[in-house]
Chains A and B, each alone.
Chain A
Amino acid sequence: MADDKKKPEELANISYRLPEKSWMDTPVDFRKGTYNYGAVAEKAKYLGLPHARKWQPMDADWQLPENWKEIILEGMRERLDKFRSFRIFMDICVRCGACADKCHYFIGSGDPKNMPVLRAELLRSVYRKDFTAAGKIMGKIAGARELTVDVLKEWFYYFFQCTECRRCSVFCPYGIDTAEITMMARELLNLVGLNIDWIVTPAANCFRTGNHLGIQPHGFKDSIEFAVDELAELTGAKVEAPINKKGAEILFVAPSADYFASPHYYTLLGYLLLFHEIGLDYTWSSFASEGGNFGLFHSNQVMKRLNAKIYMEAKRLGVKWVLGGECGHMWRVLHQYMDTMNGPADFLEVPKSPITGTVFEHAKSTKMIHIMEFTSDLIKNNKLKLDPSRNDHWNVTFHDSCNPARAMGLLEEPRYVIKACCNNFHEMPENTIREQTFCCGSGSGLGTDENLEMRLRGGFPRANAVKYNHDVYGTNLLLCICAIDKATLPPLMEYWVPEVDVGGIHEMVGNALVLKGETRRATDLRGTPYPEPEPAQSEGKEVAKDV
């Protein structure tokens, strides 16, 4: 290339090439739209969190307690001693890079500090400096660095840019779980009063009233009754939805969004119809009225306190076992922590379906199963009459929510139920589903209004796969079994694939379920009219799919 010729970026007169500095020396840019607001002080106080104060990430001065550094390092020491996995994860990473390009935030944002290996390194570098001999002596050469206010700000920025989805851990040959590193980092930040509001406020509300919006028991009751009335209008069914019924066989706990948000609500209608049709002896609880556990995103202490309500209510109401609704992180808490945190629930029995007699041995210890397990068992045992043609206006695909898929291996049951209830189902590409599923980009408390830009970056790999399905198969509905997904996928779709709507699997069940003595349904559960006349529904037998 001749010397007088300018490079393209010079000609365009825009500084294209980014300065190549070491990641350690690149400070965080708190660009609007990419970070979450700090917790409201009263809510933090309500939960008794340390150093609650009025502050925001965009403030220059974060008003840290004077001895903040001491607090963090002491907190780190304590956790390194207490959680063996934390120390191992700090020590064994060989920086092989297998995880580097697996995080949806890195893929969508192009910010190298969103590579899981670098995200962990933010914490590890401080660990090296203060807790390893090499780091103490050799400093930066050994990848160690001093804990400064800038480093702390960087932690806040990037550890609230990890959805704790664990996709990276699937690819790590050592099984390093960056999500757990994020959890530790968030706990440490919490020690000096650095929290985000969309975690602390819902957690405080859950603690106070049992659900994340802070709806009180009578409001909860009204919501359920409203749904019962709507179902009567939509289907003619006179459904019962018992609340706080002592001596019921089963306690049902759903994420609270199911009864006040859209499209979650249609899933609630589906549960109610299903329980009505099989005559289930169950109850809701107005005190354990939230399956989701925002404590998981905060600290092990808050998680434990919120989770305890489920067993307490099960005990108070005298049920035999617990059934959980379409929720994501409820299941992470349940499978990984509930038993040791709040168990053993020896006052409960091993879950047994009263309809099929199936005993759910795998839940012997927690005494709680997921509704996908329950419903797929009903279908497998031919207990439901289903007319999948009532979902023919939908061409569906399924998003494996990170927690049910990666934390509890709930991979087959949802697909089995979808296939029984929908005629048009197409999987997304293999490397974007099941264990390798891409996160919605808004989990773990990051589904807020203020960081929408970051969410749209992080959700792009998921949306890109949905778009492919839309283009190739005409997909128009994205199903999922997680309340956070139902809240955060619609905006993601609106931006990247506006032709695609979002729904829950039990909405499909509710549409397809042919009730005993049912008259023809004029609309689906969303109130969308079926074409006239509805395809051969009155004959039932020809179309009903017995699986």
Chain B
Amino acid sequence: MSLTSILKEKKSDILRIWFDAVLLSYPQDTANFLIKEKDRFANPVGFTYQHNMEIIFDSLVGTTDRDTVLPAIDNIVKIRNVQNFAPSQAVAIFFLLKQVIRQYTNEHIANGYRDDELLALDAKIDNLALAAFDCYSSLRELMGDIRIREAQRRIQKLMDRTNIFNDISDQEGDATNERT
């Protein structure tokens, strides 16, 4: 049996174990809530994880294209970026998938799959994790931009009245204001 077929067949088991492993990064009470509350609006974090982890998993077995998987990674990293995690912890959950898959297949699959298949899978997961790094760092940048724009919006009309931003945008042709 090929590794891909194994993954396809055991998808729900592996996803569950992966989610359990991700939940270990939260205190017990929180983990219970994240897994038990099924309403996607009452529990947006739990929902976002589960929904997007499935998309990411599908990309490993070749049923999801890159345009779909990148937003899925972004949705998850966005959450971990603002929660109490170090950058490494924020993206580590993607690497974790390697271990989850190895452990699962070692325990449950009698007929071995080929090593080159596993290597190829590792490479795919590494790519996911690298994409997660990119997301993480662009989100940090975005937060910096958000701060600046927020400070500007706070006094936007005062500035318009005293013509400060207008002068800059006139000279540089840059649309600092939605309306000047």
Contact = CB atoms under 8 A, between A and B. Distances in A.
Given A14-B88, A461-B44, A495-B142, A527 B149 contact: no
B161 A107 contact: no
A464 B26 contact: no
Contacts of A464: 40-41, 44, 47-48
Contact of A109 (B39, B84, B99, B106): B84
A457 B82 contact: yes
Interface residues of A, number: 63
A260 B44 contact: no
A223 B155 CA distance: 11
B150 A449 contact: yes
Contacts of B25: 16, 18
Contact of A260 (B82, B147, B157): B157
- Taking chain A's interface residues, is the majority helix, strand, or loop, or is none over half, making it mixed? helix
A12 interface: yes
A11 B103 contact: yes
Contacts of B84: 29, 31, 34, 109-111
B114 to A, nearest CB: 22
B111 interface: no
Interface string A346-365: 00000000000000000000
Contact of B149 (A2, A491, A526): A491
A14 B158 contact: no
Contact of A460 (B45, B95, B157): B45
A209 to B, nearest CB: 14
Given A14-B89, A265-B156, A456-B143, 5 more contacts: A20-B28, A108-B45, A215-B158, A262-B156, A494-B145
Interface residues of B, number: 56
Interface of B: 17, 21, 24-30, 33-34, 37, 39-45, 47-48, 78-79, 82-84, 88-89, 92, 95-96, 99-100, 102-103, 106-107, 139, 142-143, 145-147, 149-151, 153-158, 160-161, 178-179
Contacts of A227: 157
A8 B17 contact: yes
B83 A452 contact: no
A460 B27 CA distance: 19
A17 interface: yes
26 contacts: A5-B107, A6-B99, A8-B24, A8-B100, A9-B21, A9-B96, A100-B33, A101-B33, A108-B44, A108-B83, A110-B34, A112-B30, A226-B161, A227-B157, A260-B158, A261-B155, A262-B178, A431-B41, A452-B143, A452-B147, A491-B146, A491-B149, A491-B150, A495-B78, A495-B139, A527-B179
B57 to A, nearest CB: 15
Interface of A: 1-2, 5-6, 8-9, 11-12, 14, 16-18, 20, 29, 31, 34, 100-101, 106-112, 115, 213, 215, 219, 222-223, 226-227, 257, 259-263, 265, 429, 431-432, 449, 452-454, 456-457, 460-461, 464-465, 468, 487, 490-491, 494-496, 526-528
B106 to A, nearest CB: 7
